[in-house]
């Protein structure tokens, strides 16, 4: 029986626990057992997140004897979680669920235009109920991962792991002097990253995304530090749930993304009531007590005019970036080179030490996305224990930003396309549109947008696709597949649209940016 991470009832869990004790004696065919050279394990994986789970499970399926170590360092607030890494515990999954919570409020508003007799203005949101439901879903995922590891015969070791030598790993438990040692022929480091806390007086008062999804009380008036995607998604969620939300931006919003699209996301958030403190840097956070409630007095400075300001918030959320978790692991001592960001330098996942590999967020050049970490892990396992030589493809990685109006893209940004192919060799087709569902409530009229960037030198092969509107992730996924197949603009044009949808707008793009014509859509 293969268990998935779906909700399991308590009785089911007890039943499965019983079965695990007796049933999991499955003999795993171990094609490499003879060449283990006296090591306890063929493969030891440090980090039980998206990458670590992927490589360990695939390697075990291919016959390797595998140990997986996972340890979560509690946050300054004491938040901690189970196996699975950032994605299911403090990343993609709870983030998307909170995004859905915020969108339900908007849908409540829409529903009045479709005849529902509800009162969206006075609707009350129960933060605790939402958090409890999200956390109980996450626990079911943690449980599912553990069951899968046992089913595949992988030894799960809940310890902090550090290297003693190229083949030896020390297992440490916090508060204990007891150090255990295991040995392995190959080692994969998949320790991911962790949010950065600002190094200013009072910086320790910040919460991070590691705390947000299990916060026991509503955050109240919130300041978000940083305008990368994690900060903006949090801003969308919190303002959508009705909290007064501000975002402090030092340089640019979504610095690494297509800047026209970044501006649209920012404008849409601002229209929804998110305040942006531009060109500002944090100076200090002071805790102030107010009738048993903690508040924070935040001092910040405008970097252009030097002006200093102060404002009070209930919560300060740091989203100023993440650093690779490579500390206290003796990596440099045994010769593992790090890049300038502190990530493990790698070529095809191999570090500077031959039998030690790095995958996921901790590996140099990684785009810090779950599917990428999973793919790296799977392909590495096939290369190590299967017949494959297939390497990770770093091109055409699709991604989505789950702000109130979502953004999805695959391929190059307009800036990247211009710098790689030169302005005269690219053609940009674009269109504003209004989703049909938004027409009745007169919502976001002509605010949604599509942009397709083509290479004129190659029969208008599509280099980049950008979409700003509902269900961006779902829509871009399919177009990313077509781009992998080398789709051209004329092939896109000859694809019949599905009417009436948002995605059909990709099939009738006839206005180029170069023409200067109005790209707004009217009518059906
Ligand atoms: P992780 O998942 O971070 O796992 C590493 C594990 O190793 C952790 O459990 C860690 O505690 C453990 N560890 C660290 N050091 C040690 C040690 N010495 N010994 C033992 N264990 C150790 N990606 C998407 O694709 N889509 C999204 O929508 C998305 N949203 C996100 C939202 C947020 C708020 C965040 C923070 C991330 C989001 N991501 C998203 C990114 C995604 O979560 C990561 O890219 C992915 O989890 C990386 O997997 P990983 O295996 O490299 O590391």
State both tokens at 447: 């605010």
CA distance 272 to 165: 54
State phi, psi for 103 to the nearest 5 degrees.
-70, -30
Residues noted as catalytic: 499
Q: How far is CA 163 from the centre of its chain?
A: 28
Evaluate whether 200 touches 184 at the Cβ level (below 8 Å). no
Locate the ligand 1 atom nearest the alpha carbon of residue 212 and give its number: 34
Q: Give long-range contacts, CB 8 A cutoff, 24+ apart: 472-478.
A: 472/400, 472/401, 472/406, 472/407, 472/408, 473/400, 473/402, 473/406, 473/408, 475/408, 475/502, 475/503, 476/398, 476/399, 476/400, 476/408, 476/409, 476/410, 477/398, 478/503
Asked whether 504 and 435 are in contact (CB, 8 A), the reply is no
Q: What are the residue boundaries of the structural domains of the chain, listed by start?
A: 1-29, 31-196+321-394, 197-320, 405-508
Atom from ligand 1 closest to the CA of residue 50? 51
Fold equal for 31-196+321-394 and 405-508 = no
Give the fold, CATH level 3, of 197-320: FAD/NAD(P)-binding domain (3.50.50)
CA distance 464 to 483: 8
> The tokens of 515 are what?
């023409």
CATH no. of 31-196+321-394: 3.50.50.60
Topology, domain 405-508: Enolase-like; domain 1 (3.30.390)
Listed in order, strand segments (DSSP E) in 93-244 are 155-157, 160-163, 168-172, 179-189, 193-195, 207-208, 222-225
Residue 298 CB-density burial (10 A; 0-12 exposed, 13-18 middle, 19+ buried): buried
Nearest to 170 by CA among 67, 274, 58: 67
DSSP 370: H
Ligand 1 centroid, distance to 432 Cα (angstroms): 35
| pLDDT computed for residue 358 by the predictor | 98
Residue 28's pLDDT is: 32
Distance in Å, CA 165 to ligand 1 centroid: 25
- The ligand 1 atom nearest the CA atom of 52: 51
Per-residue pLDDT of the chain (524 residues; tens, 9 = 90+): 333 334 444 444 445 444 443 333 333 333 334 445 799 999 999 999 999 999 999 999 999 999 999 999 999 999 999 999 999 999 999 999 999 999 999 999 999 999 999 999 999 999 999 999 999 999 999 999 999 999 999 999 999 999 999 999 999 987 788 899 999 999 999 999 999 999 999 999 999 999 999 999 999 999 999 999 999 999 999 999 999 999 999 999 999 999 999 999 999 999 999 999 999 999 999 999 766 678 999 999 999 999 999 999 999 999 999 999 999 999 999 999 999 999 999 999 999 999 999 999 999 999 999 999 999 999 999 999 999 999 999 899 999 999 999 999 999 999 999 999 999 999 999 999 999 999 998 887 889 999 999 999 999 999 999 999 999 999 999 999 999 999 999 999 999 999 999 999 999 999 999 999 999 877 66
Closest residue to atom 12 of ligand 1, CA basis: 47
User: Which of 46, 74, 87 to probe ligand 1 with, by most ligand atoms within 8 A of CB?
Assistant: 87
Residue 155 assigned to a binding site: no
pLDDT at 443: 84
Ligand 1 centroid, distance to 381 Cα (angstroms): 19
């Amino acid at each position: 029986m293969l268990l998935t991470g779906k909700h399991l009832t308590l009785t089911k869990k007890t039943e499965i626990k019983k079965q695990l004790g007796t049933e999991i004696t499955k003999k795993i065919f171990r094609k490499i057992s003879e060449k283990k050279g006296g090591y306890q394990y063929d493969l030891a994986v440090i980090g039980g997140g998206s990458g670590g789970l992927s490589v360990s499970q695939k390697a075990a399926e291919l016959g390797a004897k595998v140990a997986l170590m996972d340890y979560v360092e509690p946050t300054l607030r004491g938040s901690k979680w189970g196996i699975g890494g950032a994605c299911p515990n403090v990343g993609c999954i709870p983030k998307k669920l909170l995004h859905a919570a915020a969108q339900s409020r908007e849908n409540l508003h829409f529903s009045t235009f479709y005849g529902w007799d509800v009162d969206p203005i006075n609707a009350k949101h129960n933060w605790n109920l939402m958090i409890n439901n999200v956390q109980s879903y996450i626990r079911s995922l943690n449980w599912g991962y553990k069951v899968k590891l046992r089913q595949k015969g992988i030894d799960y070791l809940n310890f902090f792991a550090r290297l003693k030598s190229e083949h030896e790993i020390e297992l440490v438990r916090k508060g204990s002097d007891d150090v255990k040692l295991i040995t392995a022929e190959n080692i994969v480091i998949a320790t991911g990253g962790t949010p950065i806390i600002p190094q200013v007086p009072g910086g320790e008062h910040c919460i991070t995304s590691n705390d947000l999804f299990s916060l026991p009380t509503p955050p109240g008036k919130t300041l978000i530090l940083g305008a990368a995607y994690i900060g903006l998604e949090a801003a969308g969620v919190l303002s959508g749930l009705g909290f007064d939300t501000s975002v402090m931006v030092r340089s640019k919003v979504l610095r690494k993304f297509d800047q026209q699209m970044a501006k649209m996301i920012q404008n849409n958030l601002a229209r929804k009531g998110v305040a942006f403190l531009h060109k500002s840097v944090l100076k200090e956070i002071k805790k102030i007590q107010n009738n048993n409630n903690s508040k924070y007095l935040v001092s910040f400075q405008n970097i252009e005019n030097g002006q200093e300001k102060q404002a009070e918030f209930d919560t300060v959320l740091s989203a100023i970036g993440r650093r690779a978790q490579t500390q206290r692991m003796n990596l440099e001592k045994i010769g593992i080179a790090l890049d300038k960001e502190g990530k493990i330098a790698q070529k095809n996942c191999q570090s500077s030490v031959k039998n030690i590999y790095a995958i996921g967020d901790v590996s140099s050049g990684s785009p810090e996305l779950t599917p990428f970490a999973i793919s790296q892990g799977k392909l590495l396992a096939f290369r190590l224990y299967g017949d494959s030589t297939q390497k990770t493809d770093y091109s055409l990685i699709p991604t989505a930003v789950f702000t109130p109006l979502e953004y999805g893209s695959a391929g190059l940004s307009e800036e990247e396309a211009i710098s790689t192919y030169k302005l005269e060799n690219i053609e940009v087709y674009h269109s504003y549109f209004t989703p049909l569902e938004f027409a009745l409530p007169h919502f976001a009229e002509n605010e949604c947008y599509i942009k397709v960037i083509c290479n004129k030198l190659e029969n208008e092969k599509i280099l980049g696709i950008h979409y700003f509107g509902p269900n961006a992730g779902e829509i871009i996924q399919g177009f990313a597949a077509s781009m992998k197949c080398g789709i051209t603009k004329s092939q896109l044009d000859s694809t019949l649209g599905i009417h009436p949808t948002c995605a059909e707008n990709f099939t009738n793009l006839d206005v180029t940016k170069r023409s200067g014509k109005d790209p707004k859509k009217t009518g059906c």
